[in-house]
Amino acid sequence: MTGRRQPPARAALFITCFNDTMFPQTGRAVVALLERLGVGVEFPLEQTCCGQMHFNTGYADETIPLVRRFVDVFGDSEVVVSPSASCVAMVREYYGRVAQLAGDAGLARAVEELSPRVLELTEFVVDRLGREDVGAFFPRRVTYHPTCHGLRMLRVGDRPLRLLRAVQGIEVIELPEAEECCGFGGTFAVKNADTSIAMLTDKVRTILDTGAEVCVAADNSCLMHIGGALSRQRAGVRTMHIAEILAATADD
């Protein structure tokens, strides 16, 4: 149904500070994917951070200027696309609360008006572009980890899996107990490192059990956590953001 709608000609990319700095290849993949699908990508250079880490750690007051900034930078965009489920969840679920804390009715209105137009990448591709087969080619065994904020806050459901299954040459192996948190949780991984590691150990075990060579997710923060353990264990399994798989073609 949404696929029938005229796909947006342009989209503003909210890369997130984390991807911008640590995972630029994900951003490059998003640009390649969207342009291949006929979407003109804009990248407002004034963007920085959504404030999720501050907000979730208890620094809501420090988040207020970042919410204002986000609204200023993206307020005029028809649609904002981001390759991070948790940052999109921050905008859609908690920006209203931050505006309320700021006691700024104008900001609250601006947030309410903008946040429905802020979409996670797989939501945008499936719902707005109406695409599941994006013409990708990736001849590898992969397993998909649904990250918590995508799963329970955005409710992206099986959109990422539908996109992955349509990739040519790919073998998608179901991850047992997929909906279990990997134990990242932002500052939780540091403040409660032992508990976080106990959760991560179980997640890594299920990933290794699949025999996949790549663990895929729609959030690089969780992937950095999982990948950190895979790297430390020299497990020989890589992590990849879903955008990088969807961007890959037979010509690569």
> With respect to other proteins, which residue has the nearer C-beta, 2 or 21?
21
Q: Are 191 and 197 in contact (CB under 8 A)?
A: no
Q: Are 224 and 241 in contact (CB under 8 A)?
A: no
Minimum CB separation of residue 199 from other proteins in Å reads: 5
Backbone angles phi and psi of 175, in degrees to 5: -90, 120
Minimum CB separation of residue 215 from other proteins in Å reads: 14
> With respect to other proteins, which residue has the nearer C-beta, 97 or 165?
97
The residues, ordered by sequence, that sit 6+ positions from 127 with a Cβ below 8 Å of its Cβ are 2, 3, 119, 159
Minimum CB separation of residue 15 from other proteins in Å reads: 5
What does each C-alpha distance from 62 to 17, 55, 108 come to in angstroms?
16, 8, 16
Minimum CB separation of residue 132 from other proteins in Å reads: 26
What is the binding site for other proteins (CB under 8 A)?
15, 17, 19-28, 31, 43, 45-46, 48-49, 51, 53-63, 65-66, 69, 94, 97, 148-149, 151-153, 179-181, 183-201, 224-225, 227-229, 231-232
> With respect to other proteins, which residue has the nearer C-beta, 3 or 59?
59
Minimum CB separation of residue 178 from other proteins in Å reads: 13
Give the Cα separation of 92 and 89 in Å (integer): 5
> With respect to other proteins, which residue has the nearer C-beta, 88 or 151?
151
> With respect to other proteins, which residue has the nearer C-beta, 75 or 139?
75
SS3 240: strand
SS3 142: strand
Token output for 223: 């992937």
> With respect to other proteins, which residue has the nearer C-beta, 126 or 151?
151
| Measured CA angle at 175 (ends 169, 178), to 5 deg | 135
Minimum CB separation of residue 6 from other proteins in Å reads: 27
